[in-house]
């Protein structure tokens, strides 16, 4: 499972430097370049329900294999289309990758969530998060070094070159640099699919603790609490993507060069990994996962305020530090929403994965608001209310359940 989370992180967190790459390679505006996260994360909105049906039909192991093959196809398609300098085709490749990830996420998140006691679910997801975010640090750093080692010079050369063969030659060399890495990633994903096929993974089904007992009637989800929990997930993923993918634009708005901003996504992910490690130490030893989520939201708001009242490069460092605040929100939020779903766990999982489309919506709102509000104000206008809503939702839920949310359990196919 940790290896699969690594592959998810590696593919997902390339989006940050990809925004800079496509902006230079295709001479795009900020709005057009931010179609990268839009196409990637909108796949999470359209594909989870079909992915749920498919995973029920073919089972866990085959679902994982199919997901990895789909991701490999999308990765290969992206590399070929960028090499051909066809932006629409490249965006379709990202959508295919997102479709594969939807199927992968449908299985992995509930599997890890339900693979033990509810009170330690956040700790287990945090361990998976370390694998995910280690890949998130490695992927953008490798991309910056292998594909964009001199992106600032390339951008200047493109600006200075007159339209014609010389300018086209610069663009062709720059876009060709992405071809081999993405084709290699596609091959590795296929190899990974073969390895998963040869491994022994148990078949699981989502069941609530209530449905596992014949003596207790199944508890159904409260529609409003479940819907607002999914909204909280939507807002969280939007803020997480803002901190990881929009930090490059944030840094450029403060005068940082492309050769510096290409590494900023890796900084956010390094901060997030530190947050996961801290969470594994203190949850549940010193804090319940629910209380730690509220504390994380409070820290996120304080960092946002600090970014607004400081100057120089400090605001960029603050945005990177949001990774630390964000780290333990999803590990706590996912199991609590899933527990609230009760007997509707399978459907709730699909809705939670659909909520990942917040990663498409909030960055687009940000890039549209930035010209009128300013980059910093646009960022904080979206981030601070999101943290407030997530914290308020958890406080209300914990208040109604007296601090002990209903638990969910895992039932193997043999049971």
For the chain, how far is it from start to end, CA to CA, in angstroms?
A: 22
pLDDT tens for each residue of 216-265: 455 556 778 888 999 999 999 999 999 988 898 899 888 888 888 888 88
**Which of 128-137, 178-187, 328-337, 399-408 bottoms out in mean pLDDT, i.e. has the lowest?**
399-408
pTM of the model: 0.81
Closest CA to 232 of 308, 338, 132: 338
* pLDDT over 70 at 111, yes or no: no
Q: Which residue has the higher pLDDT, 223 or 411?
A: 223
pLDDT in tens, 2-60: 888 888 888 888 888 888 888 888 888 889 999 999 999 999 999 988 888 887 788 76
Query: Residue 234: enclosing H or E segment and its boundaries?
Result: helix 223-245
Q: Model confidence at 212, in pLDDT bands (50, 70, 90)?
A: very low
Peptide bond before 102: cis, by omega within 30 degrees of 0? no
Closest by alpha carbon to 16, among 240, 244, 269, 237?
244
Give yes or no for a contact between 25 and 82, defined as CB atoms under 8 angstroms apart: yes
The whole-angstrom separation of Cα 373 and Cα 261 is 21
Q: Could you give the CA distance from residue 396 to residue 91 in angstroms, rounded to a whole number? A: 40
CA distance 182 to 74: 10
Phi/psi at 218 (5° precision): -65, 135
Contacts 24+ apart (CB under 8 A), 382-385: 382/238, 382/239, 382/242, 383/239, 383/242, 383/243, 383/300, 383/304, 383/322, 384/301, 384/304, 384/305
**Percentage of the chain modeled with pLDDT above 70:** 86
Eight-class DSSP state of 217: P
DSSP element (H, E) containing 412? strand 408-412
Burial (CB count <10 Å: 0-12, 13-18, 19+), residue 200: exposed
The pLDDT tens digits for 339-384 are 777 667 667 878 888 999 999 999 999 999 999 999 999 999 999 9
**How many Cβ atoms are within 10 Å of 311's Cβ, its own excluded?**
7
Q: How confident is the model at residue 109 (pLDDT cuts 50, 70, 90)?
A: low
Query: What domains are there in the chain, each with its CATH number?
Result: 2-412 (1.20.1250.20)
Residue 142 has pLDDT above 50, yes or no: yes
Q: Please name every residue paired with 206 in a beta bridge, in sequence order, or none if there are none.
A: 410
For residue 204, give the H/E element and its range.
strand 204-208
Distances 388 to 239, 298, 302, 348, 394 between C-alpha atoms, Å: 12, 8, 11, 23, 10
152 and 257 Cβ atoms separated by less than 8 Å: yes
């Amino acid at each position: 499972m940790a290896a699969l989370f690594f592959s998810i992180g590696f593919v997902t967190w390339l989006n940050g430097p990809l925004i800079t790459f496509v902006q230079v390679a295709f001479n795009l505006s900020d709005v057009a370049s931010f179609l990268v996260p839009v196409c990637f994360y909108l796949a999470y909105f359209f594909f989870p329900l079909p992915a749920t049906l498919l995973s029920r039909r073919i089972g866990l192991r085959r679902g994982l294999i199919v997901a990895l093959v789909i991701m490999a196809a999308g990765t290969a398609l992206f590399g070929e289309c960028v090499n051909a300098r066809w932006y629409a085709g490249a965006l379709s490749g990202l959508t295919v990758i997102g479709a594969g990830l939807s199927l992968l996420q449908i299985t992995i998140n509930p599997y890890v969530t339900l693979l033990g006691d509810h009170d330690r679910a956040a700790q287990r997801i945090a361990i998976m998060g370390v694998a995910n975010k280690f890949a998130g640090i490695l992927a953008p750093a490798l991309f910056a070094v292998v594909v964009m080692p001199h992106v600032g010079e390339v951008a200047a050369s493109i600006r200075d070159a007159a339209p014609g063969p010389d300018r086209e030659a610069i663009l062709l060399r720059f876009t060709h640099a992405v071809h081999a890495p993405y084709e290699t990633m596609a091959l590795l994903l296929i190899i990974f699919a073969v390895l998963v096929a040869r491994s022994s993974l148990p078949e699981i089904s989502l069941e609530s603790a209530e449905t596992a007992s014949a003596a207790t009637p199944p508890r159904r989800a409260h529609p409003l609490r479940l819907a607002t929990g999914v909204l909280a997930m939507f807002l969280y993923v939007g803020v997480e993507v803002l901190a990881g993918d929009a930090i490059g634009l944030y840094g450029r708005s403060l005068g940082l060069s492309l050769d510096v901003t290409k590494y900023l996504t890796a900084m956010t992910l390094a901060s997030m990994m530190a947050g996961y490690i801290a969470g594994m130490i203190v949850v549940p030893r010193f804090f319940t996962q629910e209380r730690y989520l509220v504390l994380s939201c409070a820290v996120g708001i304080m960092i946002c305020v600090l970014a607004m009242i400081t100057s120089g490069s400090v605001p960029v460092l603050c945005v990177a530090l949001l990774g630390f605040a964000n780290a333990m929100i999803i590990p706590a939020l996912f199991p609590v929403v899933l527990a609230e779903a009760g007997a509707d766990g399978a459907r709730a999982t699909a809705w939670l994965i659909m909520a990942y489309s917040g990663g498409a919506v909030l960055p687009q709102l940000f890039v549209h608001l930035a010209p009128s509000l300013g980059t910093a104000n646009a960022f904080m206008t979206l981030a601070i209310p999101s943290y407030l809503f997530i914290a308020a939702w958890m406080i209300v839920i914990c208040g109604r359940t007296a601090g002990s949310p209903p638990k969910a359990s895992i039932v193997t196919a043999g049971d």
